[in-house]
Chain A
């Protein structure tokens, strides 16, 4: 309903209806939000004498928006269709189409899981919860629930009251399982307080867990008062798989290494209103997802900004502090207001960001003044998550999971898990070796085995240039420039006539190993 309404509005706007409405409550349509983003940034460019880069060409934009929204590169046919489409609103239509594709939910479930349960990358027991938690997130994203609703459901997931049968935390690894969040945090109030503050509110409260830092804004008591909202949780047994119960009305806690009992308290001046039979988790969830919460919307839009632009307006994206101010506070407020007004609608926010000129700029540097990492005068070069990378490799090569029972996928997901931040992506030696010499790439560059290579080398009637172009389109989602094509044609032609396929395989190997394929730019 809401979405078609917005689309109608956007359609009207793109044919030239004035959008000069007062922005008191924040713009309700994504085009207006995009325009607001660009106005703010342009003021900044003027003031700082920064020359932003030009707009990205269609192929660069296409690959980026596919990776950002669906978590993988476009298919060659998608590239062809998009490049040959001459309509003025094709970028807008593409953004909508991708947000409505099933891949959006799949990819954002991966992204949100990695944020909420980072333990899964390093803890083998925790990894058992990955599929169930992602499956739950996927289902919620697919259902189109507001982000406030999703967070409320996560925080208030039913847990058996003390005295009843304890709640199993893992019935079926595949079944949607929001309880995984509590299980993986070992149901410990301090773990949950740290995760909730950081992932949902953008506050690194855990630094105050052990002692007060002289100049920090958060005090140790506040950390434990936040933890007190989870003080009623009990794990019945040891280990992450132990079932849980909850003492419904408990909302006080003793800080570790102290004897003082602390009451649950919000991080702002509001005070919790307790009700009988209402868990303190529910009280906390109400406060977090309230329209007036001073942190929640700002933290969320900032996280999304950081996701799409590589660097948050506040950066690191989960480190809001008085002494770490946003690069543009007014812009952050605009975004937060619009997000609240939209009903915490993530796709709306994503539309607004992706429609902005800022998002649609090239990542190629054209002027020294663009080296300001805080505001995007050019698009950042971003890392790919392990899933984004392998899913893209799958599309590029024609790999099918059943050919090795998913072994390659598992290997890549382990070896290519992100360790750094998105703004400082890192490639390890091990990763380079895997791509230079590993079994998967050997298979992918075997002209007798890899479906992409078979098609590119054996389809009759194609010129050499077309064969090379196919390899470009399948991997880096663009056509080669003339100055790129010439040397590659010469390289292939140098070969004896019966080795042409092998030489084309070398070109394919090169593309799969290139920084341009490895990164989102």
Chain B
């Protein structure tokens, strides 16, 4: 069962996802991201620490979010990728396209200089 919790932290919206992101559950993620990009959220930070599995539909959802945000100059950042999820990004060669951080603190603007994605 997928669980998505969003919270505001200064200018950023943190989207914490728990569970598997697959063909069944990715529409829920999409709904949240499209809602946020529709309001032109300047920074969305997606917490993937509790995502143990992600398939191409999950990746596609994040790519769509990234593209929507780039239209208005927003930023989509990711952190907490486990080995399995990270490998899907690497296989798709998207690990260089997304801004991927190790922790929430590193993904937030104040710490941007401390860690290069």
- B and A form one assembly: no
Q: Which residues of B contact A (CB under 8 A)?
A: none
